Structure 1
Amino acid sequence: MKHGKKYTEALKQVDRTKQYTFIDAAELVKKVAFAKFDETVELSMNLSLKKSQSVRDTVVLPNQFAAEKRVLVFAKGDKAQEALDAGATYVGDTDLVEKIRGGWMDFDVAVATPDMMKDVGRLGPILGRRGLMPNPKTQTVTFDIKGALAELKQGRVEFRSDKTGVVHLAIGKVSMDADKIAENARIVLHEVLRRKPSDAKGDFLKSVALSSTMGPGVMVDVKEN
């Protein structure tokens, strides 16, 4: 893969033989970022997982960096009112199901009460491929609508391993202080380690890296964090 001149210059500033602490890695990612926009800082963790294993959960990042999410809630009656009072962007039941089936997707995350899942389940092919399907594992199927919305507004994000055992997610912006980026990274790492499958063997965590949207990866020494 051929990279541009700016990427090549950025890569020269990264010691590829070295593993950095999270704070040093964050500072270096900020230093070598070259895009004209505020690049997103991404964390990648390569895990040792069998094909039958996966790691998936949510975590509340202490330092927010993204615009507030547009939250859609599938609920009826009192729970619908609870969602409205808690600041949900859209609230409805079968009317929203039909609207989404018609092609409308103007939201960032979906939450549903358990009694709505029979209807919401019909949206599986639509929401599933976009990663928007409410799921108990990500605490987006719950009767605690107020609590779920509070955490989402605080910066709750989902992480999940892909088919190759890699967990990859955004944890900040280049414009943020390095210590805040590092703190977000540590929180995610600790949560991923906490979700280690009970039957996982050997070194569960193969490698960890930080990078910006356009920049090179910076390897992290997790033993020092």
Structure 2
Amino acid sequence: MRQRSKRYKKIKNILAQKKNFKLIDAIKILKETSTAHFIESIEFHSNLNINPKHSINKKKKYILLPYRTNRILKIAVLTKENNFNLALSAKADIVGNQDLIEKIIKKEIFFDILIATPEMIPELTKIGKILTLNRKMPSLKKGTITEDLENTINRFKEGKVTYKADKTGIIHAKIGSCNFKTLELIENFKTFYFSIKKDYSNLTKGNIFKTIYLCTTLSPAIKLDLSEFN
């Protein structure tokens, strides 16, 4: 049987005292009981009142939170020479063509994300194995193969959060970390909450949210009192 930590049991005892918690109380509990040797993420999990099989619900959505939840990414762009100035003006860190491919093969360059324009897809075969091993292979699904370089680069640079309901109708997302201030986490939560409500409410009758839970990387989940947001 799995042994739970003292911290986990402590939170469980707190949760046993009531079923649902106010947002500010849930955040305070998570922050005050965070004792891991690393900065834990604070995660949002919500079961939505939708049909997850509907094609509209399968589309990815993006939101820019008031307080970014990730570091600034180093972005490389693989494209034709006539797009170089456009990519650089959009704040891409590295832009290239065959020279970029050679540097990737020789492992002379580092980046977090590689964005490619469609005409460069055949060239990706030369570095496909390297990129796949490092989980940096551009794809349409990830939005990293695109003709709209400017908006795509801006989206990744700004730290926008990507989200969509999974096949069971649940949305999972990071809304901050335990080292965020309480008010920063509240602002991120509310921005994310109202974005989901706007994107999905016209697809169902009644309340779009069945349940909302908050947790950290290692904690049990805390169920929120939805009446606070109605």
Q: TM-score, structure 1 length as denominator?
A: 0.76
The answer to whether the 8 A contact 2:78-2:117 is kept is yes
Alpha-carbon distance in 2 for matches of 1:9, 1:176: 22
Rate the CA distance shift 1:104–1:190 in 2: closer, same or farther, 3 A: farther
Picking from 51, 54, 69, the partner of 2:53 is 51
3-state DSSP of counterpart to 1:8: helix
Question: Bigger CA drift: 152-161 or 95-104?
Answer: 95-104
Q: 1:72-113, CA deviations, whole angstroms, 9 ceiling, x for partnerless residues?
A: 323222422332343323333466678879999954334344
Aligned residues: CA RMSD: 3.7
Larger Rg: 2
Alpha-carbon distance in 2 for matches of 1:16, 1:97: 58
Q: 1:121-176, CA deviations, whole angstroms, 9 ceiling, x for partnerless residues?
A: 996xx76xx5964548959734252x443343332121122222221121111011
Alpha-carbon distance in 1 for matches of 2:34, 2:104: 38
Equivalent AA in structure 2 for residue 32 of structure 1: T
- 2:92 alignment partner in structure 1: 88
Tell me by how many angstroms 1:69 deviates.
Answer: 1.5
Q: Give the unaligned 5+ runs of structure 2.
A: none
Alpha-carbon distance in 2 for matches of 1:136, 1:80: 24
- 1:117-136 correspondence to structure 2 within 5 Å: 133-135=138-140
The answer to whether the 8 A contact 2:146-2:152 is kept is no
- 2:8 alignment partner in structure 1: 7
Tell me by how many angstroms 1:15 deviates.
Answer: 4.8
- 1:165-204 correspondence to structure 2 within 5 Å: 165-196=169-200, 199-200=203-204, 203-204=207-208
Rate the CA distance shift 1:106–1:92 in 2: closer, same or farther, 3 A: same
Picking from 146, 149, 152, the partner of 2:153 is 149
- 1:104-123 correspondence to structure 2 within 5 Å: 107-113=111-117, 115-116=119-120
Alpha-carbon distance in 1 for matches of 2:207, 2:99: 48
The answer to whether the 8 A contact 1:49-1:204 is kept is no
Equivalent AA in structure 1 for residue 32 of structure 2: K
Rate the CA distance shift 1:139–1:224 in 2: closer, same or farther, 3 A: farther
Q: TM-score, structure 2 length as denominator?
A: 0.74
The answer to whether the 8 A contact 1:44-1:169 is kept is yes
The answer to whether the 8 A contact 2:117-2:147 is kept is yes
Q: 1:160-214, CA deviations, whole angstroms, 9 ceiling, x for partnerless residues?
A: 2222222112111101101111111221222222221754456432111111111
Structure 2 residue 24 is matched with structure 1 residue 19: no
Alpha-carbon distance in 2 for matches of 1:69, 1:215: 28
Rate the CA distance shift 1:60–1:114 in 2: closer, same or farther, 3 A: farther
- 1:29 alignment partner in structure 2: 30
- 1:163 alignment partner in structure 2: 167
Rate the CA distance shift 1:157–1:119 in 2: closer, same or farther, 3 A: farther
Alpha-carbon distance in 2 for matches of 1:30, 1:6: 12
Tell me by how many angstroms 1:60 deviates.
Answer: 0.8
Alpha-carbon distance in 2 for matches of 1:15, 1:79: 58
Structure 2 residue 220 is matched with structure 1 residue 216: yes
The number of equivalent residue pairs is 222
